[in-house]
């Protein structure tokens, strides 16, 4: 929680970090939750990512927490036995991280609040969902802020009853600038 407070105050620990390591740490932290629900966490990436060409100028510790939050939402709001994909294609000078789940999905109103609001989603929908699915949002707002302060963007596509895709685009660090 102290790292979150520091991030909210704009106190970041900037460093050159490999995206593969950050995502690997996040996946490792979520594996016990996913295993408990008999879920699969799947990673798909292109060859340049595998060759560790994806470097960011970022607060690595804070990004691991951000990725854990995005993945844990998928685990939390998906049924047992579901799959969650983390797709990571490189797009020129940017990387796209897509967190794809087979969860409950969201309404357009819920997506709007997550992308543009600061309040929780509690009470926005009386859909037939577990209570926890109607109280999400605070962690996402923090994740959205961290991503934005690192020059990234967040988008959400969702279909109720099918699942959600959270797309995070981040600027890559030029290979010339990576500390050797």
Residue 109 pLDDT > 80: yes
Whether 51 and 6 have beta carbons less than 8 Å apart is answered as: no
Summarised one tens digit per residue, pLDDT across range 9-27 is 677 899 999 998 899 999 9
With H, G, I as helix, E, B as strand and everything else as coil, classify residue 46: coil
**Exposed / middle / buried, residue 2 (Cβ in 10 Å: 0-12, 13-18, 19+):** exposed
Name all domains of the chain by residue range, CATH numbers in brackets: 2-171 (3.30.565.10)
pTM to 2 decimal places: 0.82
Summarised one tens digit per residue, pLDDT across range 118-160 is 544 344 444 444 444 444 567 888 899 899 999 999 999 999 9
Whether 125 and 107 have beta carbons less than 8 Å apart is answered as: yes
């Amino acid at each position: 929680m102290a790292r979150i407070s520091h991030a909210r105050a704009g106190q970041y620990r900037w460093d050159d970090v490999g995206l593969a390591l950050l995502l690997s740490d996040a996946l490792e932290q979520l594996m016990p939750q996913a295993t408990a629900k008999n879920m699969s966490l799947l990673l798909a990436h292109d060859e340049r990512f595998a060759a560790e060409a994806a470097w960011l100028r970022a607060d690595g510790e804070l990004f691991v927490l951000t990725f854990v939050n995005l993945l844990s939402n998928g685990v939390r709001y998906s049924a047992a036995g579901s799959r969650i994909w983390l797709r990571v294609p490189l797009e020129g000078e940017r990387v796209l991280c897509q967190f794809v789940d087979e969860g409950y999905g969201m309404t357009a109103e819920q997506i709007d609040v997550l992308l543009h609001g600061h309040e929780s989603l509690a009470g926005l929908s009386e859909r037939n969902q577990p209570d926890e699915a109607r109280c999400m949002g605070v962690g996402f707002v923090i994740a959205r802020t961290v991503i934005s302060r690192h020059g990234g963007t967040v988008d959400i596509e969702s279909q109720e009853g099918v699942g959600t895709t959270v797309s995070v685009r981040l600027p890559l660090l030029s290979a010339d600038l990576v500390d050797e």
